[in-house]
């Protein structure tokens, strides 16, 4: 599945955060997005992932123009095509790892029993079968991020968008998370990762560098 941004501009009032961005991420790519703090990386990822809309320009997800699409239709596009991973994990602290992952399937209308089976599979794929009943507060940071990755992939998305997924982790957990993303890409998922880690970026086949809202 291809993600296409054409002449995307994002403004907050007078502030132009992204300027005339043209970017195509093709099916099966593994892309690092790098750039200084405040350069517009997160804004770019949120627009690519339909969580935010551009002020001008067009965004196509799997050939479909999503600009101006109503929220409930965007939620469906996301549920079937896009998984997200964030630096701060954003897990629900009151739910077990299993239930956090199973909620990733709510919008797909998958029956409850099947949601649980798929969640268990996804947790197994990130090496977390032994912690399915733990809540986020009972898990390490690296374990939380593995649960968040399981939640991102449980719907078998075509694309995973990760915003500094290793930013809050020690180097060993970070390497494990980077390895999971790489493996995910090897099995056919398109992966876009924002990172401040130069080594991680250098190890990826493609790097997109952004500065002051412009791709270099």
Ligand X SMILES: Nc1ncnc2c1ncn2[C@@H]1O[C@H](COP(=O)(O)OP(=O)(O)OP(=O)(O)O)[C@@H](O)[C@H]1O
Which phi and psi angles does 5 have, rounded to 5°? -110, 130
Residue 38 binding partner per list ligand X, Mg ion, none, with a CB distance cut-off of 5 to 8 Å that depends on partner kind: ligand X
Q: Is 187 in the site for ligand X (CB under 6 A)?
A: no
Residue 132 to residue 126: CA distance in whole angstroms: 11
Q: Per CB under 5 A, which region of 36-44, 103-111, 113-121, 128-136 contacts Mg ion?
A: 36-44
To ligand X, the closest distance from the beta carbon of 121 in angstroms equals 32
Q: Per CB under 5 A, which region of 42-50, 75-83, 165-173, 174-182 contacts Mg ion?
A: 42-50
Instruction: Pick the closest to residue 194 from 12, 63, 40 (CA basis).
Output: 40
To Mg ion, the closest distance from the beta carbon of 41 in angstroms equals 5
Residue 87 binding partner per list Mg ion, ligand X, none, with a CB distance cut-off of 5 to 8 Å that depends on partner kind: none
- Collect all residues with Cβ–Cβ distance below 8 Å to 2 and sequence separation of at least 6: 24, 25, 26, 27, 60, 62, 63
Residue 14 binding partner per list Mg ion, ligand X, none, with a CB distance cut-off of 5 to 8 Å that depends on partner kind: none
To ligand X, the closest distance from the beta carbon of 27 in angstroms equals 25
Q: Is 42 in the site for Mg ion (CB under 5 A)?
A: yes
> What residues numbered 14-53 form the site for ligand X, per CB under 6 A?
15, 17, 35, 37-43
| Burial class of residue 70, CB neighbours in 10 A (0-12, 13-18, 19+) | exposed
What value, to the nearest 5°, has the Cα angle with vertex 54 and ends 52 and 58? 115
Q: Is 195 in the site for ligand X (CB under 6 A)?
A: no
- What is the radius of gyration, based on Cα positions, of the chain? 17
Q: Which is nearer to ligand X, 15 or 111 (CB)?
A: 15
Contact 135, 93 (CB under 8 A): yes
58 Ramachandran zone, left/alpha/beta (phi>0; psi -120 to 50): beta
Residues that bind Mg ion (CB under 5 A): 42
Residues that bind ligand X (CB under 6 A): 12, 15, 17, 35, 37-43
């Amino acid at each position: 599945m291809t993600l296409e941004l054409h002449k995307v501009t994002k403004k907050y009032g007078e502030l132009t955060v992204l300027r005339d961005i043209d970017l195509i991420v093709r099916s099966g790519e593994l892309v690092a997005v790098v750039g200084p703090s405040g350069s517009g990386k997160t804004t770019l990822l949120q627009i690519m992932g339909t969580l935010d809309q551009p002020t001008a320009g067009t965004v196509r997800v799997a050939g479909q123009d999503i600009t101006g699409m109503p929220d409930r239709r965007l939620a469906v596009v996301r549920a079937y095509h896009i998984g997200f991973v964030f630096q701060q994990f954003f897990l629900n602290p009151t739910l077990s790892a299993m239930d956090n992952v199973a909620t990733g399937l709510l919008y797909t209308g998958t029956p409850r029993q099947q949601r649980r089976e798929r969640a268990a599979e996804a947790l197994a794929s990130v090496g977390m079968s032994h912690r399915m009943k733990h809540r986020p507060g009972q898990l390490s940071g690296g374990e939380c991020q593995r649960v968040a990755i399981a939640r991102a992939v449980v719907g078998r998305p075509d694309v995973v968008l990760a915003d500094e997924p290793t930013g809050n982790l020690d180097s060993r957990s970070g390497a494990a998370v980077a390895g999971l993303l790489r493996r995910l890409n090897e099995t056919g998922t398109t992966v876009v990762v924002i990172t401040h880690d130069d080594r991680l970026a250098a190890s990826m086949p493609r790097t997109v560098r952004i500065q002051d809202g412009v791709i270099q």
